[in-house]
Amino acid sequence: MRLQDKVALITGASSGIGRETALLFAAEGAAVVVADVNDKDGEKTAADVTAAGGKAVYVHADVSKASDSENMVRVAEDTFGKLNILFNNAGIMHSADDNAITTEENIWDLTMAINLKGVFLGCKYGIPALRRAGGGSIINTASFVALLGAATPQLAYTASKGGVLSMTRELAVIHARENIRVNALCPGPLRTELLMSFLNTEEKKQRRLVHVPMGRFGEAKEIAYAALYLASDESSFVTGTEFLVDGGITAAYVTPE
């Protein structure tokens, strides 16, 4: 088992990448703290982990709130005794997120609060716990749009993920000598509820897919396996990276005919 005796805290774990990662990490031996605002589905993720023979606890956490972020780390240490892996995965992609002219200020603020401030708060309270455990791995979910402009406008989302990528690099440098690794996981377009609700017409879906050399959307479980590598000791010399799992989109981003 690749995560035997490790404790992982995963935000946004009620669905999509977070849920698949919680199930995978537990199957690989980790005790998992499932954090989300969706109590029903979050509790289901934790229950599914335990039903499969793993260890999990659910905690309600709005990552944009300092008190909730502090509490989820406390729950990890109080329940399982330590924290080795922090996966700052929670994020939103609002349907009203568009270009600079049409995106409302409240949509911008909400996106930044969850996608960017949420990662900051996770690290603010998670890093001291990792120190107490003697080090560990932080994985921050960014996106391929942190490196490229999105064909379908989503300005607040793109800017927030660019911020996650920059913050990840700086944290990696700051904490490298403390045995704390920090990497940004950059998924390409995925067939998850989050993206499919944003790409809500066939035209939007095809406009995104035309850029993907593999010709399909990725699956959440494919990202979970990448997170597993970054969480495990196999990636012990990997920090400060933009870990792209994108079906080749950043290697061949072209304008369609």
Active-site positions read 157
Q: Look up residue 110 and give its amino acid.
A: L
Rounded Cα gap, residues 236 and 215, in angstroms = 33
Task: Evaluate whether 117 touches 125 at the Cβ level (below 8 Å).
Answer: no
Task: Evaluate whether 163 touches 141 at the Cβ level (below 8 Å).
Answer: no
Going by C-alpha positions, the residue among 156, 149, 151, 140 that lies closest to residue 242 is 140
Going by C-alpha positions, the residue among 128, 92, 83, 136 that lies closest to residue 110 is 92
Number of helical H runs and strand E runs in the chain: 9, 7
Q: At what angle do helices 118-132 and 66-80 cross, to 10 degrees?
A: 30
Task: Evaluate whether 235 touches 225 at the Cβ level (below 8 Å).
Answer: no
Edge-to-edge order in the sheet of strand 31-36: 55-60, 31-36, 7-11, 85-88, 136-141, 180-187, 242-245
| Residue 242: DSSP 8-state | E
Distance of CA 52 to the CA centre of its chain: 23
